[in-house]
């Protein structure tokens, strides 16, 4: 069964409903107000007429020498006004055509009365006839209120017909406007449905407007751009990563095949095993880096932050690299002015420095130099790893921190292109940053900034 709760209605109907309800309240209040004003004015005016009629009758009596029993020319007063003249004892004298019920009302004081006779309302006004301050008789004037009742009834009918009509027209207009305003949203929904079926290249491309819907559409498109780019990157990464793993595996397979294809000498087996061993070490390295990256993406890497003495960590790492550097005839020097303490995960921090120093050695030719320094600046420790190596061209600069990006595969055969992206992730994770300055053929300078433990 369909649920007909208001909150389940389409927005366009909701808006229209609210709008119509508000209009209904306003119209009703407004109409009541108008009705009251008009009925007030009509009643006020009839009272005014009645009093001026009474004055007219009085002035005729006055001009006739206060003879209340004379014949008043009937036509001189408003034909809608009926009157009767009483003597001081309340006996009716001359009268116009007037209902006996009105004549029979008691007389004796100045007053304004409303009476209902045969369902018709009358207004009755009594006023004394004064001669030198003495009451010598009474004038009673009366008017039927039928025309006011009729006029007000007509007004009521008009109001009762016009309110629903206004409501109907306003709702129609409101629905039309709501429909127009909400149309782009329907379009957005439809497009989003299509996109969710798998076509990420679709865009709304609505005409740019500064209204709410226009901004929504632009934001939606921008979000899709980012989403598409990141998914593309993700797919590229997956395919590059498998490709990366395939190379050592094909080497291993080839070696094994060759070794098994006939009788070989012990020396040849040994050579084959050495190659297999090296290649599997390479694979191991790649896989552990990939694992680190995927854990960093998932956010499942378990950290262990502790307060570390940067100089000591760096000294150990430099010592580890000393042998390789000597083999390549590269001088490594490490300088630090002060003791620097930071809060960090030791494994990750070590990985960060190893990746940078490993690159510096790899991309520096024989006889080159690597200078490492640690300093303090404001609330940061600045770690600089500078080499006199082959440098990085301006075109490559924007990409070197990308996953699997390698400037030249042939010049870094041991690498995977993951080192710098991991290093950057570690720096970011520690609320620091990793930057590079480099010039082709004259060396590179990697700068790490990490917040001090204060
Ligand atoms: N110190 C450096 N000197 C020159 N080029 C560098 C240096 N460090 C990194 N690069 C360039 O940046 C690329 C990406 O580095 P990295 O992510 O560590 O991958 P790789 O596994 O190739 O070392 C490298 O292929 C290399 O061309
Ligand atoms: Mg590297």
Tell me the pLDDT tens digit for each residue of 271-308: 999 999 999 998 998 898 888 888 887 778 888 999 99
Tell how far the Cα of 385 is from the centroid of ligand 1, in angstroms. 13
Structure tokens at 355: 């990746």
Q: In which band, very low, low, confident or very high, does the pLDDT at 81 lie, cut at 50, 70 and 90?
A: confident
User: How many angstroms separate the CA atoms of 213 and 208, rounded?
Assistant: 10
> Which residue, chain included where needed, has tokens 């119509």?
20
The answer to which of 94-98, 237-241, 334-338 has the lowest mean pLDDT is 94-98
Q: Is 307 exposed, middle or buried (0-12, 13-18, 19+ CB in 10 A)?
A: exposed
396: Cβ contacts below 8 Å, ≥ 6 apart: 407
Strand, coil or helix: what is 94?
strand
Tell me the pLDDT tens digit for each residue of 147-163: 899 999 999 999 999 99
Q: Give the per-residue pLDDT at 254.
A: 94
Arithmetic mean of pLDDT, 406-434? 85
Q: Give the per-residue pLDDT at 412.
A: 56
Q: Which of 178-187, 314-323, 399-408 has maximum average pLDDT?
A: 314-323
Tell how far the Cα of 293 is from the centroid of ligand 2, in angstroms. 14
Query: Which of 386, 370, 397 lies closest to 447 in space, CA to CA?
Result: 386
Structure tokens at 136: 């010598």
Structure tokens at 363: 């991309």
Tell how far the Cα of 363 is from the centroid of ligand 2, in angstroms. 9
The number of the ligand 1 atom at minimal distance from the alpha carbon of 418 is 17
DSSP 18-74: HHHHHHHHHHHHHHHHHHHHHHHHHHHHHHHHHHHHHHHHHHHHHHTTS-TTS---G
Ion ligand 2: residues, CB within 5 A, are 359, 415, 419
Tell me the pLDDT tens digit for each residue of 360-408: 999 999 999 999 999 999 999 999 999 999 999 999 999 999 888 888 7
Q: Give the per-residue pLDDT at 34.
A: 95
Query: Which of 111, 87, 88, 115 lies closest to 100 in space, CA to CA?
Result: 115
What domains are defined for the chain? 11-153 (3.30.450.20), 212-298 (1.10.287.130), 305-451 (3.30.565.10)
Q: Give the per-residue pLDDT at 411.
A: 61
Closest residue by Cα to atom 12, ligand 1, is: 400
Closest residue by Cα to atom 18, ligand 1, is: 419
On average, the pLDDT of the chain sits at 88
Using DSSP bridges, classify how beta strands 134-144 and 92-95 pair: parallel, antiparallel or unpaired. unpaired
Tell how far the Cα of 66 is from the centroid of ligand 1, in angstroms. 128
Better pLDDT: 76 or 285: 285
């Amino acid at each position: 069964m369909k649920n007909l709760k208001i909150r389940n209605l389409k927005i366009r109907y909701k808006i229209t409903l609210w709008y119509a309800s508000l209009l209904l309240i306003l119209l009703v209040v407004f109409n009541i107000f108008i009705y009251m004003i008009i009925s007030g004015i009509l009643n006020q005016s009839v009272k005014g007429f009645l009093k001026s009629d009474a004055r007219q009758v009085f002035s005729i009596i006055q001009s006739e020498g206060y003879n209340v029993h004379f014949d008043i020319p009937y036509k001189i007063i408003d034909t809608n006004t009926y009157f009767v003249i009483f003597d001081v004892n309340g006996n009716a004298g001359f009268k116009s055509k007037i209902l006996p019920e009105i004549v029979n009302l008691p007389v004796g004081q100045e007053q304004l009365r409303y009476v209902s006779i045969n369902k018709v309302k009358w207004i009755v006004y009594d006023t004394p006839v004064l001669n030198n301050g003495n009451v010598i008789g009474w004038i009673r004037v009366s008017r039927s209120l039928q025309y006011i009742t009729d006029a007000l009834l007509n007004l009521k009918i008009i109001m009762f017909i016009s309110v629903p009509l206004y409501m109907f027209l306003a709702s129609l207009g409101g629905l039309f406007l709501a429909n127009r305003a909400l149309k782009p949203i329907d379009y957005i929904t439809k497009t989003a449905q299509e996109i969710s079926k798998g076509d990420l290249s679709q865009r709304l491309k609505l005409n740019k407007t500064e209204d709410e819907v226009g901004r929504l559409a632009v934001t939606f498109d921008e979000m899709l751009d980012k989403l598409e780019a990141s998914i593309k990157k993700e797919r590229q990464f997956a395919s590059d990563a498998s490709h990366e793993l395939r190379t050592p595996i094909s080497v291993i397979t080839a070696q094994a095949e060759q070794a098994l294809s006939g009788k070989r000498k012990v020396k040849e087996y040994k050579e084959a095993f050495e190659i297999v061993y090296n290649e599997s070490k390479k694979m191991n390295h790649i896989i552990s880096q990939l694992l680190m990256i995927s854990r960093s993406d998932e956010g499942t890497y378990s950290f262990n932050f502790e307060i570390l003495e940067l100089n000591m960590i760096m000294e150990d790492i430099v010592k580890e690299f000393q042998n390789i550097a000597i083999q390549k005839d590269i001088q490594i020097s490490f300088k630090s002015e002060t003791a620097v303490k930071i809060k960090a995960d030791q494994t990750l921090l070590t990985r960060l420095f190893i990746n940078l120093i490993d690159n510096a050695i790899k991309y520096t030719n024989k006889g080159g130099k690597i200078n490492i320094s640690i300093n303090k600046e404001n609330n940061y420790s600045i770690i600089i790893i500078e080499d006199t190596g082959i440098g990085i061209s301006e075109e490559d600069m924007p990409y070197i921190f990308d996953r699997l990006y390698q400037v030249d595969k042939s010049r870094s055969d041991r690498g995977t292109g993951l080192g710098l992206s991991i290093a950057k992730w570690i720096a970011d994770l520690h609320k620091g940053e990793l930057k590079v300055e480099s010039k082709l053929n004259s060396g590179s300078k990697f700068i790490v900034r990490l917040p001090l433990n204060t």
